[in-house]
Amino acid sequence: MGKFLKEEKLKQIAFKLNSPYLTEAARAEGVYKKRSYPFCLPREHAQENLFHEIRQSAQDYFTEFSIKWHDGQSEAPSNHLCDSQVCCANFLLPFADKPKPLAKFCHFYTQM
């Protein structure tokens, strides 16, 4: 495991324990690939891995376009807090119906 992922897992454990956006039940360790980890949500709370403001629209979008969630269960996203697909959805889906802010962000990002 690389240094970045190791550090990110520690950050996600802290987020999970302190975030006001997760239910108490989602703070328990979650099973991922047959092992229990503190940086994973319980599978029955995997949808809480999506930002609450886009949670339903993200799931609807993935269902409508038959997009499979990486390591998802029953049409829910991955319960792994470091999942790149979930990260991408959390970061970009809020821009889905906001083309001007998205263009501004893309312009800023390409100038870096």
Length of the chain: 112
- CA 104 – CA 92 distance, rounded (Å): 13
**Per-position DSSP letters for 1-12, written without gaps between them:** --HHHHHHHHHH
Give the tens place of pLDDT for each residue, 91-108: 999 888 888 988 887 877
- Residue from 89, 104, 92 nearest 47 by CA: 89
**pLDDT for position 106:** 80
**pLDDT for position 112:** 64
pTM higher than 0.95: no
- Residue from 47, 48, 42 nearest 22 by CA: 48
